[in-house]
Amino acid sequence: MNYYSTNNKNLKVSFREAVMKGLSPDGGLFMPELIPQLDADFINNLNNYSIQEIGFEVAKLFIDNEIPDPDLENIIENAINFDAPLVELDNKLSILELFHGPTLAFKDFGARFMARTMSHFLKDSDEVVNILVATSGDTGSAVASGFYGVEGINVYLLYPSGKVSDIQEMQLTTFDKNITALEIEGTFDDCQKLVKSAFVDNEINSKMKLSSANSINIARLIPQSFYYFNGYKQLKNRSENVLVSVPSGNLGNLTAGLMAKKMGLPIAKFIGATNSNSVFTEFIRSGKYEPRPSVKTLSNAMDVGAPSNLARIQSLYTDHSIILKDIASNTHNDDQTIEMIQQTYRKYNYIIDPHGAVGMLALEQYLAEEKLEDYSAIVVETAHPAKFKESVEDALGIDIKLPEALQKCISKEKKTIKISNSYSAFKEFLLNT
């Protein structure tokens, strides 16, 4: 299967090229030239498959023999060696927990799959690949963990200074070897702009081979689609009207869900939940995309003012009216987020993180507006609440125990290189590395 640039559908590359390049030379994002269809029998019998078996059936359609089936099976078994359980809160509402990987966030699915896929493509090569990653929190640690010690790959993590949680910062700044953390004096959007600018800089690309591990890389999105199938199969009281609320920042998670729907997964509606960075919600409501600088919130992984994957969502649909059939979107602020953390704990005795709380809020508003009675709803919980220990503890007045993975990282030394958000400073760093 070929992959085209969202900036030029005539510019096509192989799956390997799409993964290893990350971003098209014209600045576009790579998309499969068609969304493959899964057999109805497979969809109807998801209960018979593990998440790894589901992943193999989905991924092989996108990879189209560029990786031999036995190697692809090994990649998936090795990358996704943890579960994504669906926790039922009541007979209509469930939480899809995506924080059971090594860095306790949904980014582990994509980062680990991509690391092993790239390693497969580089196994008989002397090539050195330099991966640039802009992160608003969880991507950095997941990519660092996934690529740590992988030969032939250097990783540079760009994160906004003072705009990630303390625990997230410790997770992404305590690696060594082939991982370098760059603390950027700016916002996530500044980090993302630096990465994109480097990809289209001829001088840099003539001297070093670049790739990306952000959700702009198609190898991140394909494995993220696996858990939507896995979540659907776990629904006990499945209505014909299945709703999925997705905390949304750079829109990679939502895009992966939409790809699953296009492959045949019978989701009636996706709800793109945004915090005060409501560019996507405004786009859904008006059809106009008006990016702007992001603002800091409790749900910091969603603090994105210029979401890259909107280009992919637009490429999946021919018209905004069709987008509205599949996607709704609501926006909520920090005060509402805190109230929802408290409400979820009171009502269900469930501790939800700020991102999941925004997802709950968006679902609640959608149900109220649509006056739905017959439905099955899934809220995507993207990270372990302990990663936002201070804000969740303040909201609930309880002590949250740190999982072992987080306890280990907070005892390590922070290692960062501080850089301004000017492209000239970043370019100088890369050329002198």
133-147, 220-234, 305-319: which has the minimum mean pLDDT? 133-147
Largest distance between two CA atoms of the chain: 60
Q: Which pLDDT value is given to residue 308?
A: 93
How far is it, in rounded angstroms, from Cα 83 to Cα 370? 33
Residue 124 has pLDDT above 90, yes or no: no
Q: Which pLDDT value is given to residue 72?
A: 98
Is 163 annotated in the active site?
A: no
Going edge to edge, which strands form the sheet with 8-13? 8-13, 3-5, 30-32
Per-residue pLDDT averaged across 323-332, rounded? 98
Residue 214 has pLDDT above 80, yes or no: no
Q: What are phi and psi of 207, to 5 degrees?
A: -110, -20
111 contacts 395 by C-beta, under 8 angstroms: no
How far is it, in rounded angstroms, from Cα 207 to Cα 128? 11
Residue 143 has pLDDT above 90, yes or no: no
Q: Which pLDDT value is given to residue 260?
A: 98
Give, in degrees to the nearest 5, the angle at Cα 155 between 151 and 161: 160
3-class SS at 218? Answer: helix
Q: How confident is the model at residue 69 (pLDDT cuts 50, 70, 90)?
A: very high
Quick one: what percent of the chain has pLDDT higher than 70?
A: 100
Q: Which pLDDT value is given to residue 140?
A: 81
Over the range 291-300, which residues count as b (16 or more CB within 10 Å of their CB) and which as e? eeebebbbbb
How far is it, in rounded angstroms, from Cα 190 to Cα 160? 8
How far is it, in rounded angstroms, from Cα 221 to Cα 82? 18
112 contacts 180 by C-beta, under 8 angstroms: no
How far is it, in rounded angstroms, from Cα 235 to Cα 251? 24
Q: Any idea which residue has 């106009």 for tokens? A: 288
Q: State how far the alpha carbon of 138 is from the alpha carbons of 32, 105, 128, 158, 383, in Å.
A: 26, 6, 25, 12, 8
Q: Which pLDDT value is given to residue 130?
A: 94
Residue 136 has pLDDT above 80, yes or no: no
Q: Any idea which residue has 């659907």 for tokens? A: 232
pLDDT digits (tens, 9 = 90+) for 38-66: 999 999 999 999 999 999 999 999 999 99
Q: Which pLDDT value is given to residue 267?
A: 98
Please state which CATH number belongs to domain 82-105+221-403: 3.40.50.1100
pLDDT digits (tens, 9 = 90+) for 341-372: 999 999 999 999 999 999 999 999 999 999 99
How far is it, in rounded angstroms, from Cα 246 to Cα 195? 25
Nearest CA to 8 out of 33, 35, 26 is that of: 26
Considering 21, 107, 196, 389, which one is annotated as catalytic?
107
Q: Which pLDDT value is given to residue 223?
A: 97
pLDDT digits (tens, 9 = 90+) for 394-419: 999 999 999 988 888 877 888 999 99
Mean pLDDT of the chain: 94
Read off the amino acid at residue 114.
M
Angle at which helices 138-147 and 107-122 pack, to 10 degrees?
30
Q: How confident is the model at residue 172 (pLDDT cuts 50, 70, 90)?
A: confident
Q: What are phi and psi of 265, to 5 degrees?
A: -70, 125
Q: State how far the alpha carbon of 105 is from the alpha carbons of 56, 84, 94, 101, 383, in Å.
A: 21, 11, 18, 7, 4
Angle at which helices 252-263 and 226-233 pack, to 10 degrees?
60
pLDDT digits (tens, 9 = 90+) for 233-245: 999 989 999 999 9
